Amino acid sequence: MSKAINEGGLRLMAVHAHPDDESSKGAATMARYVREGVDVLVVTCTGGEAGTVLNPALDRPDVHERLVELRRAEMEQARRILGVRQVWLGFLDSGLPEGDPLPPLPEGCFARTPIADAARPLVRLMREFQPQVVVTYDENGGYPHPDHIMNHKITIEAFEAAGDRARYQEVGQDVGVAPWQPLKLYYHQTHHKERVLALHDAMRASGRESPYSDALEKWVDRSADSGRITTRVPCGDFFEIRDRALLAHATQVDPNGPWFRVPLEIQRAAWPTEDYQLARSLIEVGVLPENDLFNGIR
């Protein structure tokens, strides 16, 4: 990773657990900011090695055998579509354990790596890239995948340590990189009930079948989720780019699945934003909700 090429400009770092996460969480926001001249870096913590083939059309032995290679190629294609830069941290996918009792996570995987060791390369990237804004998952990981929760933990660690000369003192010294303190930290909050219900109602109002009926019937409201959204970024004009980036992850996405069943014009009318929780801020941001991750920085 070279030193920030957009010195003096706006820089956004999005930290994700696996290839494809960047295209399903905040992709339209990133596409919008790239087109506005913001330098956007996606950090991918693992290679998705423990993933499976989720597209029925590609569920073949030859695809399974080349899955790691294919996922890297898919990530590169999605990166180009979004217009972002991207870096691999190089940790091993922990997988999603299933069973009762749950089996242990594999030795050497991302989620079993000591926090300081896992955060160290991210601290380095923050000091090199110098983002003003960092985006990651909340303490639940968005959903309780071990890598998503670990992704949250190391981003918090790096955000708080990157600007501290007393911490990770050796990180960046070899290339003369100084400590750097990002100003704002956000959590993705796009997949929440208010949005899902708005899309569900809009589909039904148009006479179409909603892909969210089952999810809403099973939805469990949690008091901890109330009031999280502080920031709504208008990005409906970039939903098509978001979808193309997600479809680039062909082994992970069924193009005939529920993700793509709501027409873009309905999405833009019913919910044209991607939503976030401002988790940390070192600057005054004024009245909430915001409509810009760089509010107070521009």
Query: Residues annotated in the binding site, as ranges?
Result: 18, 21, 148
Q: Report d(CA 143, CA 145) in Å as an integer.
A: 6
Interstrand relation of 273-281 and 231-234 (parallel, antiparallel or unpaired): antiparallel
Place of tokens 């423990």: 50
In the sheet with 133-136, reading across from the earlier edge strand, the strands are: 85-91, 39-46, 11-16, 133-136, 184-188, 273-281, 231-234
Structure tokens at 76: 């590169």
Q: Which residue in 260, 262, 276, 194 sits closest to 25, CA to CA?
A: 276
Torsion from C-alpha of 131, 135, 138, 141, nearest 10 degrees: -110
Q: Report d(CA 175, CA 195) in Å as an integer.
A: 45
Q: Report d(CA 24, CA 203) in Å as an integer.
A: 20
Torsion from C-alpha of 152, 155, 157, 160, nearest 10 degrees: -130
Q: Report d(CA 67, CA 95) in Å as an integer.
A: 14
Which ranges constitute the DSSP H helices of 59-212?
A: 61-65, 67-82, 115-129, 146-161, 193-205
Q: Report d(CA 101, CA 58) in Å as an integer.
A: 31
Query: How many Cβ atoms sit within 10 Å of the Cβ of residue 220?
Result: 6
Binding-site residue set for Zn(2+)? 18, 21, 148
